[in-house]
Amino acid sequence: DRLRTSPRVRSAALTAAVPQSAIQPGNAPVTLERGTTDAAGTLSADPNVVSDQYFETLEVPLLSGRDFTAGDGPGSTPVAIINRSMAAFWEGSDPIGQRFSVPSSIIGNAARAPAGPEAVFTVVGVAEDFRLYSVDQEIAAQFYLPLRQFPGNGTRILPKTTADPFSIVPAMEEAV
């Protein structure tokens, strides 16, 4: 929050995966609450952990639902924002309010790993697809978990400035 209040910062977010960096998508098996699967019998999506303002900072529109909030913290219902490609898993139905699960081991390195073999999330938002990975890589189905619920996974700062990006380095150092 300290960085966000800097006069030359329009928005800032934390993430586990910086767009267009040398990273590869993950592949988490996904089960929809209603049991829908694709022809192969399973669905899969790329998991990411991000803070609120992630989509705003990257100028990725939320197509429906909401962004993460301070209320999406420890002790609250586990939530997720999905991209448009993952929303297609619900075959034309509105995914907002729907639930899906992934093996807890997928997010087991988080400080607040869910108890039990499956972690269940309620969809609160749908974001537009964007190329998180290489520009020549297909856009994968993706889901985003709130950093407040899974601290320790969002370790990279994404600032959006109104000035020369190097001018906010002192504010970034102070925030860290």
What tens digit of pLDDT does each residue of 29-59 get?
999 986 555 544 578 998 988 989 999 988 9
Tell me the average pLDDT across 14-24. Answer: 66
Tell me the average pLDDT across 4-17. Answer: 70
- Binning pLDDT at 50, 70 and 90, where does residue 110 land? very low
pLDDT at 109 (0 to 100): 46
Q: Which long-range contacts (CB under 8 A, 24 or more apart) does 1-8 make?
A: 2/171, 2/174, 2/175, 3/157, 3/159, 3/168, 3/171, 3/172, 3/174, 3/175, 4/53, 6/168, 6/171, 8/161, 8/162, 8/163, 8/167, 8/168, 8/171
Does pTM surpass 0.85? no
Tell me the average pLDDT across 164-170. Answer: 71
